[in-house]
Amino acid sequence: MTPVSLPSAKSEPLTTVSPSARPTTPPPPRGQVLGSNMVAFNKDTMPLLGSEWEDYGSGFQAGLNGGAATWLTVHDKYDGKKAKWGNFVAFGGLNPKIKVVSTPAGLKAATIQAASRAIVGLYDENVKFIGKSTHTPITVDGHTGHELSIKVAVSVPKLPETFSTVLVTVIDRGDGTADVAIGDIAGSTPQWIEIWRSKVQEIKIAG
Sketch out the chain's domains with CATH numbers. 32-200 (3.40.1000)
This prediction has a pTM of: 0.86
What per-residue confidence (pLDDT) applies to 27? Answer: 74
pLDDT confidence bin for 119, thresholds 50/70/90: very high
- For residues 141 and 204, the answer to whether their CB atoms sit within 8 Å is yes
Grouping H, G, I as helix, E, B as strand and the rest as coil, residue 111 is helix
Using one digit for the tens of pLDDT, what is the confidence trace for 161-189?
A: 999 999 999 999 999 999 999 999 999 99
Using one digit for the tens of pLDDT, what is the confidence trace for 27-76?
A: 778 899 999 999 999 999 999 999 999 999 988 889 999 999 999 999 99
What per-residue confidence (pLDDT) applies to 13? Answer: 45
Average pLDDT over residues 138-149: 98
What per-residue confidence (pLDDT) applies to 63? Answer: 92
Percentage of the chain beyond pLDDT 70 is 87
Q: What is the total residue count of the chain?
A: 207
CA distance 137 to 152: 21
